[in-house]
Amino acid sequence: MALAMARPWKHPKTGIYWFRKRVPGELQKLVGKTEEKQSLGTRDPAEAKRKHLAMLSAIEERWANLRAGPRTLTEREAHDIAQHAYDYWLTTHRDNPSQQPWKIALGEKLFPPEVHVMLRPSNPNPSWEEVAEQAEIWKLEGFCTRSADARLEALGWSVDDESRRRTAKAFASAIQRASLTLTEWAKGNFLEGRPLGAMSAAAGEQQAPPSAKITEPVSFDNLVKGWAAEKKPAAKTLYAWKAVVEKLKKAIGHDDAARLTPDEMVRWKASLIESGFQPKTIRDAHLVPIRAILQWAVDNRKLPSNPAERITMDVKKKAANSRRGYDESEAKIVLKAASAETDPVKRWVPWLCAYSGARVAEICQLRREDIVEIDGIWCFKIDPQAGSIKTAGSERAVPLHPALIEAKFLDFARKVKKGPLFADLPADRFGSRGGNGTKVLGRWVRNLGLKDERLAPNHSWRHRLKTLGRRHGLAPDIVDAITGHQRKTVADGYGEFPMEALHREISKIPTLKLS
């Protein structure tokens, strides 16, 4: 496919038209990518063609600016570039003008003709108020400089240092003027000028500044590091969340969480939808990680608000696709096939899952030292020292069901002197045997003829145990203790779960007759 062709490209899965054009080789380093690619947000060919032409014109103008190299801007050019900041500031704060964050009293003090240092020789001992004021001035100047840089980059303009400062100063003037107007609006004095509708339209044609908040840059990467240091996520979770943060950074074109806006989050979500991702994947694998990391940043005073807080995805659960447990005949098929296996993973993991409701990853990482006798009852322990566990409540000891004793699981375990029971099962990149165990057993179960998509080859054992618990009258809180589900009420957290009680309840589940 010739990406350079000047016509809309139709996504084969979604039918949404996209703008795609290869970046000329001499500009790829400056642009930072080899192809310009952006959704046109429509399935209508005529509308797509109009949007494509407008976008093509804007991008070619940007490339022409990049080819022209560094330039010196006049004051008028700088103010023209900053005009969109004025429009954006009014549009953003028009409904609640008294809440706009710009400090008008300091606005006139920004970017003086000469650069001053904080401690001037004429005032070697400034007051705390003077120190605080100068710090705030630098903060506002930094915001204006970053906003100007973002706009210049969007236009493809490379400017000299003096022009860069001139543009930043123009941004400060534009926001100062807008803030003075907002002050009047807050009093009910709506001034003559462009109507709000026209102002909003003009603002919509321009690229908004990075953020309406006055904050220092906050690296996404640093937020992930801080979140991970506190939360101690599993290696697999950290890997996945880092990947989704990288995906967001690529979509918005920067690494400053302080500049992230709800509008950018909405556009990112829309691009994921148009790319064909399932709603549940968008919600759980994309929006949830970003929202959680940003909320950690808010809780730790690194961001003033969470721009992803109310960005969610409607996921309608279809009854026909709901996860279910193994029924009696399906359980017999799997356990009977497992009984004939010589591979320890296929022989014992399904049986242990079937009679405990444990997660397959928990079983795959069992060690010889996790098979213990407590109060005269043989058990296996789910121990975080053996590998990662899902929650704090997942650490537990589970009594062996009589079916496992009868099947001679203990004889198998005793043959392992020390270490993993399933040592031949290789660990994945995160050091977990559960990932590969899930794949091996999933393929094996499907090959037994169990093709129903509602049946999860491994996780459906947990559903089955819950069903059996209700059918045979097991105490619900003890079932939760056996399966490692989180306790539902504060009252559930009181007292202990004696092994005798756990064994009494699990033994109520009858052994499947396989013959």
Q: Which two tokens stand for residue 490?
A: 């504060």
pLDDT reading at 342 higher than 80 = yes
**pLDDT at position 392, please?**
59
If one compares 243 and 385, the residue with the highest pLDDT of the two is 243
pLDDT tens digit string along 411-436? Answer: 999 999 899 999 888 887 777 787 88
Among 42-51, 190-199, 444-453, the range scoring the smallest mean pLDDT is 190-199
If one compares 218 and 496, the residue with the highest pLDDT of the two is 218
Instruction: Quickly state the pLDDT bin for 147 (edges 50, 70, 90).
Output: confident
According to CATH, the topology of domain 216-316 is DNA polymerase; domain 1 (1.10.150)
Instruction: Quickly state the pLDDT bin for 87 (edges 50, 70, 90).
Output: confident
505 Cβ neighbours under 8 A, 6+ residues apart: 469, 474, 475, 478, 479, 482
**pLDDT at position 211, please?**
40
DSSP string, 118-131: SS-TT-SS--HHHH
Average of per-residue pLDDT values in the chain: 82
Instruction: Quickly state the pLDDT bin for 190 (edges 50, 70, 90).
Output: low
According to CATH, the topology of domain 328-506 is hpI Integrase; Chain A (1.10.443)
Amino acid at 142: G
**pLDDT at position 344, please?**
94
- Confirm if 174 and 88 have CB atoms less than 8 A apart: no
Instruction: Quickly state the pLDDT bin for 488 (edges 50, 70, 90).
Output: low
CA–CA distance, 273 with 268 (Å, rounded to integer) = 9
Burial label for 294, CB within 10 Å (0-12, 13-18, 19+), is buried
pTM over 0.85: no
pLDDT reading at 445 higher than 80 = yes
Mean predicted confidence (pLDDT) in 153-159: 73
pLDDT reading at 404 higher than 80 = yes
If one compares 459 and 201, the residue with the highest pLDDT of the two is 459
Q: Which two tokens stand for residue 405?
A: 């004793």
CA–CA distance, 466 with 206 (Å, rounded to integer) = 56
88 Cβ neighbours under 8 A, 6+ residues apart: 203, 206, 208, 209, 212
**pLDDT at position 55, please?**
78
* Structural domain spans, the chain: 75-120+128-205, 216-316, 328-506
278 Cβ neighbours under 8 A, 6+ residues apart: none
- Confirm if 255 and 300 have CB atoms less than 8 A apart: no
Instruction: Please count the CA atoms within 13 angstroms of the CA of 300 that sit on its side-chain side.
Output: 16
CA–CA distance, 40 with 10 (Å, rounded to integer) = 10
pLDDT reading at 145 higher than 50 = yes
Annotate 442-469 with three-state secondary structure: HHHHHHCCCCCCCECCCCHHHHHHHHHH
CA–CA distance, 425 with 412 (Å, rounded to integer) = 16
User: 173: helix, coil or strand?
Assistant: helix
Answer whether 216-316 and 328-506 agree in fold. no
Mean predicted confidence (pLDDT) in 43-54: 83
Mean predicted confidence (pLDDT) in 289-316: 86
pLDDT reading at 287 higher than 90 = yes
